Amino acid sequence: MLSRKAICDSHGQDSSYFNGWQEYENNPYDEVRNPTGIIQMGLAENQLSLDLVESWLASNPDVVGFKKNERSMFRELVLFQDYRGLPAFKNELVEFMAEIRGNKVKFDPNKLVLTAGSTSANETLMFCLAEPGEAFLLPTPYYPGFDRDLKWRTGVEIVPIHCSSWNHFKVTESALEEAYEQAQKLDLKVKGVLITNPSNPLGTTMSREELNHVISFAVDKEIHIVSDEIYSGTVFDSPSFISITEAAKNRNLENTDFWKHIHIVYSLSKDLGVPGFRVGMIYSNNETVIAAATKMSSFGLISSQTQYLLSNILADRKFTRNYMMENQKRLKKRQEMLVSGLENAGVWCLQSNAGLFCWVDMRELLESDTFEAEMELWKKILCEVGLNISPGSSFHCTEPGWFRVCFANMSKETLKLSMQRIKDFVDSIDQSKDNRNNLQFSVSNSRRRSLTKWVFQLSFFDREKDR
Amino acid sequence: MEFTNMNRQLLSKIATNDQHGENSPYFDGWKAYDKDPFHPTQNPNGVIQMGLAENQLSFDLIEGWIKKNPIASICTSEGVNKFMDIAIFQDYHGLPEFRNAIAKFMGRVRGGRVTYDPDRIVMSGGATGANELVMFCLADPGDAFLVPSPYYPAFARDLRWRTGVQLLPVICESSKYNFQITKAALEEEYEKAREANINVKGLIITNPSNPLGTTLDRDALKSLVSFVNEKKIHLVCDEIYAATVFSQPNFISISEIIEEMECDRNLFHIVYSLSKDMGLPGFRVGIVYSYNDDVVNCGRKMSSFGLVSTQTQHLLAAMLSDEEFVGRFLAESSKRLANRHQIFTKGLEQVGISCLKSNAGLFVWMDLRPLLKEATFEAEMVLWRVIINNVKLNVSPGSSFHCVEPGWFRVCFANMDDMTVDVALQRIRKFVRQGKEGEAPVKNKPWRKNLRLSFSSRIYDEAIMSPHMMSPHSPIPHSPVLVRART
């Protein structure tokens, strides 16, 4: 009766990533009304700096009445449905994007296609770059929503590039080659690599070395690179962000055919904290892609009202510069709070310098080194501890025990409370382990924790070299 | 567009084919308008845009409401305290108050004869997004939908391009049936498809009709319901022009019919939008309303690809909940459309041009068959280019709507002010009179009595066959304020 797409589950929403949200919806934490409810730590939202935008609005009444130079903008705006987008908005966006990249690269507004969120941007790019049944390679762990956005209605397949903790989940040449071979074994034609940089869920920026591996690989195989840079403005610590454009420029690829294989996805949902406004975009050096994507954007244009509002905010360059700086400061502080809170509970995170979350190592808390154990632990943390964190398996991580924990979508007090809950939980596990086993085991446990700490300190020094 | 070999291999077929439909001559008229747009003082001889089905007659009412209700905007001092909540809300269910307001509004538009369940409201990126979304839910690549012709040209893109669904036009003829769809025509097309082994998944209708401007009566709707029910195929009703009905007969929604008839409700789906009824195409408010739970669930997940900006949801939730305003708006909008329709059709009648009798929409379906040199589409194209290049009106030729009879043109009347309507009518009068002056006695030709025209060959020779070029979907690039920053 319905289409195959309607009946299948390729929308990916049966994954645990989304089930946790359901539990949260049923019992959401509220400081006053439901203090024992579940704290939402599975939502990568940036709520830390919206007050800055709010006060900008309060001080800029001109935007209010749609008035500009005493002429009413209203009529123009309600009628504006040109899929090329509001010119003023695109001009501001490219400036904003350049600022985020330290002005090391410049963007052309005519190469920018506006879409309803990066959800739509990613899907649209797949429609443009691949046929049903063809594949894109993605480093794991990756954002669960990609299973829906890249595959569901497009029929495109994802083949994972396996990354693991031994080298902090960095993309290696061999992992790229292995993924390619795997695709061939599955009889899937590879059309490109899609990277998320900074990474979700890792919270790290890709090193120049990694980017070069990806570029060399894509050049060699003559495939596309899609770089989802949605978190580019959330980089709060060194090493600084290197965009795919910058990396490719440094390889002198700017005037080559390969330049047209590079496409960027961006959005204001994370950097500016306005996911409700549905502002996404594709930036491509390929005119055919721009032409096709522009037409496809008809299926999800950005409300003209919103384009107008944001173009005015972004036009205030002083404001945006100040916003970015302040936002990054607040993110850094918040991340430090989460990291130290977890450390205090004896739990460690992957060293991160970006994003709205940490990639937390809870392998030691697993009953066994299996995904079943990860699910058990997750259910406990969700239902008994009352924290909706996201299990690594939902990000297609190959190693059980990793969890993504968000820190920018709640108040400081709530974060403190969640740290307390984790500490209590870990302590209780240790306690029960102590009770079950003899002293020797608990000593070796704490030895194991010290070892892990030592390993991560080492890894920190490794990262220093990447700057 | 030329595609290099590399592009062909590197990109998808969808990206490089022309199924988006923008290479159609339909867009040449827009190109002519883009190059030379009419302006009462700055360019009084420019091309008047009559190819754009927009409702610009009542935006003053909306603007007035917004000014009086600053709390509905998250940018005003009264409303800015809602900014954060609105900016972070991205739940694809939509703001509850928005869904409630839309459901109520849809009911009001149908005179309160139906009520809509807010939980069945699914958002989409305009009706464009809604139509595509419904196809993705109901049909697989290669499946087909029946569509009565003439139909909205962009259906070719919206329903087919990325979905891979086929469209099978059901011919509606003017002579016997005034372009109304008949059960016989449906049955014939359905059988033809079956014989060709094409899997027909449903029928899609636009009611009120674009381009006809007519509404379906109760019997017609009932026969459609029984047809799809019998064949167990879906019925998608695009009711985007529901509130543009300005005279009798009243609008009857498919929702009313399925309340009255025994049928499988899982087959029925409505597409709606605020772009025409409220004149807000820029806000991208599309709605899918399905009576099928699975379609609602699946559609809701798919709506992630085209949600309505919460800033807009918030504003419209407040506006559409203002019952007094909604009542006033619907009544006034209807009056203004009726008035404009009358001025325009009377003006055409005065020079012997008739239109299909219509009671809805933002356009008329104009009968220029008597002006054709011969009853062919080539002649229609020639006439069309004369109208664009000499008369300087961008009207839409019937062939672009897949009409099977040459000589019909869709002419929009609600996207301009009174003065521009006057200018357009003057130009038409002049054009018709010029044709009459060059008249030679004609014998045995089926001209209408009060309209005898022939054109000097000079005019035809001058008709420029401009090369097909792609034009944007909807051009408002000449707004001085909106383009000021363009590089």
What is the ipTM metric for this complex?
A: 0.89
Looking up residue A106, the CATH number of its domain turns out to be: 3.40.640.10
**Integer angstrom CA distances of residue B341 from B178, B184, B328, B351:** 19, 32, 20, 16
Percent of chain A with pLDDT over 70: 89
Clarify whether A228 is annotated catalytic: yes
Helix (H) or strand (E) holding B28: helix B26-35
Distance CA A388, CA A405 (A): 8
Q: How many CB atoms lie within 10 A of CB B331?
A: 10
- Parallel/antiparallel/unpaired status of strands B144-149 and B200-206: parallel
pLDDT digits (tens, 9 = 90+) for A318-359: 999 999 999 999 999 999 999 999 999 999 999 999 999 999
Residue A354's domain comprises: 4-50+328-425
Q: Domain limits of chain B?
A: 17-54+334-434+442-486, 70-321
pLDDT digits (tens, 9 = 90+) for B260-306: 999 999 999 999 999 999 999 999 999 999 999 999 999 999 999 99
**Is A144 found in the same domain as A56?**
yes
Identify the active-site residue in A270, A308, A422, A430.
A270
Looking up residue A394, the CATH number of its domain turns out to be: 3.90.1150.10
> Could B80 and A261 be called an inter-chain contact, meaning their C-beta atoms sit closer than 8 Å?
no
Identify the active-site residue in A149, A228, A271, A430.
A228
> Could B306 and A299 be called an inter-chain contact, meaning their C-beta atoms sit closer than 8 Å?
yes
The answer to whether residue A436 is domain-embedded is no
**Is A205 found in the same domain as A179?**
yes
Q: How many CA atoms lie within 13 A of A162 on its CB side?
A: 11
Extract the tokens encoding A2: 């319905």
Q: Are B82 and B74 in contact (CB under 8 A)?
A: yes
**Is A355 found in the same domain as A367?**
yes
CA distance B481 to chain A (A): 8
**Is A128 found in the same domain as A253?**
yes
Which residues of B are tagged catalytic?
152, 238, 240, 276
**Is A298 found in the same domain as A215?**
yes
Q: Are B20 and A127 in contact (CB under 8 A)?
A: no
Whether pLDDT at A405 is above 80: yes
**Cα dihedral B187, B193, B196, B201 sign:** negative
The answer to whether residue A435 is domain-embedded is no
Domain count, chain A: 2
Per-residue pLDDT of chain B (487 residues; tens, 9 = 90+): 445 555 556 888 888 888 887 777 677 788 889 899 999 899 999 999 999 999 999 999 999 999 899 999 998 888 999 999 999 999 999 999 999 999 999 999 999 999 999 999 999 999 999 999 999 999 999 999 999 999 999 999 999 999 999 999 999 887 677 898 999 999 999 999 999 999 999 999 999 999 999 999 999 999 999 999 999 999 999 999 999 999 999 999 999 999 999 999 999 999 999 999 999 999 999 999 999 999 999 999 999 999 999 999 999 999 999 999 999 999 999 999 999 999 999 999 999 999 999 999 999 999 999 999 999 999 999 999 999 999 999 999 999 999 999 999 999 999 999 999 999 999 999 998 887 665 444 344 443 333 333 333 333 333 322 222 223 333 333 343 343 322 3
pLDDT of residue A448: 47
> Could A305 and B309 be called an inter-chain contact, meaning their C-beta atoms sit closer than 8 Å?
yes
pLDDT of residue A447: 47
Q: How confident is the model at residue A75 (pLDDT cuts 50, 70, 90)?
A: confident
Q: Number of CB pairs < 8 Å for A and B?
A: 269
CA distance A461 to chain B (A): 37
Nearest CA in chain A to B159: A299
> Which of A7, A25, A265, A288 should be substituted to probe chain B, the one whose Cβ sees the most B Cβ atoms within 10 Å?
A288
| A302 contacts in chain B (CB < 8 Å) | 284, 309
User: Please, what is the Cα angle at B267 between B265 and B268, to 5 degrees?
Assistant: 75
Identify the active-site residue in A230, A244, A262, A282.
A230
Extract the tokens encoding B464: 């420029």
**Is A90 found in the same domain as A228?**
yes
Q: Which residue has the tokens 């939402």?
A: A40
Q: Of A54, A130, A304, which is closest to B83 when you measure between CB atoms? A: A54
Q: Of B161, B298, B481, which is closest to A68 when you measure between CB atoms? A: B481
pLDDT of residue B2: 46
pLDDT of residue A440: 54
Helix (H) or strand (E) holding B181: none
| B160 contacts in chain A (CB < 8 Å) | none
> Could A127 and B14 be called an inter-chain contact, meaning their C-beta atoms sit closer than 8 Å?
yes
For domain B70-321, which CATH number applies: 3.20.20.210, 3.40.640.10, 3.20.20.70, 3.50.30.30?
3.40.640.10
Scored b (16 or more CB within 10 A) or e, A314-340 reads: bbeeebbeebbeebbebbbebbeebbe
3 state SS for A5-72:
HHHCCCCCCCCHHHHHHHHHHHCECECCCECCCEEECCCCCCCCCHHHHHHHHHCCHHHCCCEECCEE
Q: What is the CATH number of domain B17-54+334-434+442-486?
A: 3.90.1150.10
Q: What is the mean pLDDT of residues A286-301?
A: 96
Closest CA to B202 of B136, B156, B261: B136
